[in-house]
Structure 1
Amino acid sequence: MAGDPYKELGVARNASADEVKKAFRKLAKDLHPDKNPGDKAAEERFKRVTAAFDLLGDKDKRAKFDRGEIDADGREQFRGFGGGGPGGFSGFGGAGGPGGRAGFENIDLDELFGMFGGQGRQRGARDFTPKGQDIRATLEISLEDSITGATRRIQFSDGRTLDVAIPKGAGDGQVIRLRGQGAPGRMGEAGDALIELKIAKHPLYRREGADLEMDLPISVPDAVLGGKVTVPTPEGRVSMTVPAGSNSGKVLRLKGRGGHAGGKRGDLLARLVVTLPEPQDEALTKFAEEWRTKRPYKP
């Protein structure tokens, strides 16, 4: 939105260079994005204040602006019909024309941005580049995708779609950075897209750190006599031996068939559940009746 750079900084038109600098320093600290994360209004105001100081912090540009020779974007004013006053003020990144950001020569960026993480000039210089904003999104993936890796497509609110490469062993909450896929910048350099991965709840497996837990139904004969059973894993079915005399609740471990955590692969823990046939088998019922009569026992 158009505005007056003096009003943006809150200084009078006859303010001294030191007063302009002091006003900018205070506003920049109060409005800096690191101090106001997620506050779009503060971010926009920060950009307008920055652009205002780009203009008023430079002695020559300020003088031309005051004489009506350039507008707030640093563009020369057309005065062929006797016009004169300063033009509109359009915000961040426009001031200075070919001169760029000369106004910041009078500001100690190390001192100004030292309060934001202690990164000094390196951080301050990066924050004043015309790079576009980063955008954030959440992508829900399956447990299998997180273990084996995959490529999944995500759609943003602006209608764009991107293919996201899910790395093998991806963790819940992991953020994937897609460089240059964020909002476009004023000077052409786009921000990044930050994609946070969320692993969906699985109908079969329960995650416990790097391990996966599951219930594995087995038949009465396999529980009594033992035998080979087929176990579904995130990477396909495998065969496992059930020991003879296995009760419900016994846990069998498949090494290296679990999830990932801390860079390590966990195990798959199969909890046995002895399951009766459906519908109920008459022969099994008769056998149970005779067993209860002749060989009673209490678990």
Structure 2
Amino acid sequence: MADDPYTVLGVAKDASDDEIRRTFRKLAKQSHPDLHPGNAAASERFKKFTAAYEIVGDPERRKAFDRGEIDAAGEARRNFHHAYPGGGQRGPGSRSEEFGFSDIFSDLFNDGRGSARTGGRAPFARRGQDVRYTLEVDFLEAARGTKKRVTMPEGGVLDLGVPAGVADGQVLRLRGKGGAGANGGETGDALVEVKVRPHPDFKRAGFDVQCDAPVTLDEAVLGAKIEVQTVDGRVALTIPKGTSSGRVFRLKGKGIHNPATGQGGDLLVTIRIVLPEVIDETLSYFFTEWREKHRYDPGRK
């Protein structure tokens, strides 16, 4: 059984709509999966906040809940035979985590499916069903943003703008692109879940991107200026003299675009020293002589 939505959000039952929205916005930002990658507890909290807001964040559904027509999960109560004014009883919300940071939390959804007891009267308007699709994109397409065409099972197509910084598993909502409504009801929505294919060199951590940069032995010892790949192209990175393998350099703003701040995350470059495939006599002789005079402790434990 779902918890009382007012309790979940921590607001009073007589709270204003604006107060509820502000509270949800604050709570959801604190637990959004994109801001807490790998945090299962935060993800669960985000789902609970979203489910609660689906009930009390919409004035019509909130009134229905307060009157006892629907429960905390959005299900019509079996012993209650009064339908929504101007519409049908609504079922549970979609529970989709579909909030893009380009307009964070402004697209809070109301995903009920209408049905009502007509009792011999004219039928109520009924909202069309939402339809769901899965769209695969490359890592760099997700980072930069792209346009895709989704082919629907019934043969139609949807042109979809994938926003820069979209996360794996994020759901994009296309208003009015779902099933047709009945008796003058509004058309449902299309919900497109984005699946981001892994990249061989990049790994995402929130809005930061991690990658390795191979360097030669002489570049690590003497210092060098090398080029590294970012999500937007190649940039120069200066390696100071005496750089050890495993050292991490942070390139500000070279990660994933964060629409909430209007800035990019960072690129974290880990240095990886690569020795030549063949160690010739000259190199062996040099290090043999050097080792006798310059032994040092690498910090082994």
TM-score (normalizing by structure 1): 0.57
Q: Distance in 2 between matches of 1:36 and 1:269?
A: 39
Q: C-alpha root-mean-square deviation of aligned residues, in Å?
A: 3.2
Segment drifting more, 277-286 vs 175-184: 277-286
The match for 1:242 is 239
State yes or no: 1:130 paired with 2:126: yes
Structure 1 residues 138-194: Cα deviation after superposition (integer angstroms, max 9, x where no partner): 323233222321112323333433221112333444332222321233457532101
Return the structure number with greater helix share: 1
The match for 1:225 is 222
The match for 2:70 is none
State yes or no: 1:251 paired with 2:242: no
The structure with the largest alpha-carbon Rg is 1
Q: Distance in 2 between matches of 1:36 and 1:132?
A: 14
- Rate the CA distance shift 1:35–1:174 in 2: closer, same or farther, 3 A: closer
Percent identity between the two aligned chains = 40
Q: Distance in 2 between matches of 1:37 and 1:143?
A: 27
Secondary structure of the residue aligned to 2:118 is helix
| Aligned pairs, number | 200
**Which amino acid in the other structure matches residue 255 of structure 2?**
G
Secondary structure of the residue aligned to 1:54 is coil
The match for 1:54 is 118
How big is the shift at 1:195? Answer: 1.4
Q: Distance in 1 between matches of 2:135 and 2:192?
A: 7
The match for 1:139 is 135
Q: Distance in 2 between matches of 1:282 and 1:32?
A: 83
The match for 1:204 is 201
Aligned 8 A contact 1:171 1:260 in 2: no
Secondary structure of the residue aligned to 1:221 is helix
Aligned 8 A contact 1:144 1:234 in 2: yes
Secondary structure of the residue aligned to 2:200 is coil
Q: Distance in 1 between matches of 2:193 and 2:160?
A: 11
How big is the shift at 1:298? Answer: 3.0
Secondary structure of the residue aligned to 2:201 is coil
State yes or no: 1:270 paired with 2:269: yes
How big is the shift at 1:208? Answer: 1.9
The match for 2:145 is 149
Point out where structure 2 has 5 or more consecutive residues left out of the alignment. 1-77, 96-111
Q: Distance in 1 between matches of 2:226 and 2:268?
A: 14
1:176 corresponds to which of 152, 166, 172: 172
**Which amino acid in the other structure matches residue 228 of structure 1?**
K
Point out where structure 1 has 5 or more consecutive residues left out of the alignment. 1-22, 59-95, 102-127
Q: Distance in 2 between matches of 1:146 and 1:194?
A: 17
Q: Distance in 2 between matches of 1:131 and 1:206?
A: 41
**Which amino acid in the other structure matches residue 171 of structure 2?**
V
Structure 1 residues 72-126: Cα deviation after superposition (integer angstroms, max 9, x where no partner): xxxxxxxxxxxxxxxxxxxxxxxx4xxxx4xxxxxxxxxxxxxxxxxxxxxxxxx
Secondary structure of the residue aligned to 2:126 is coil
TM-score (normalizing by structure 2): 0.57
- After superposing on structure 2, the runs of 4+ consecutive aligned residues of structure 1 that deviate more than 4 Å are 26-29, 35-38
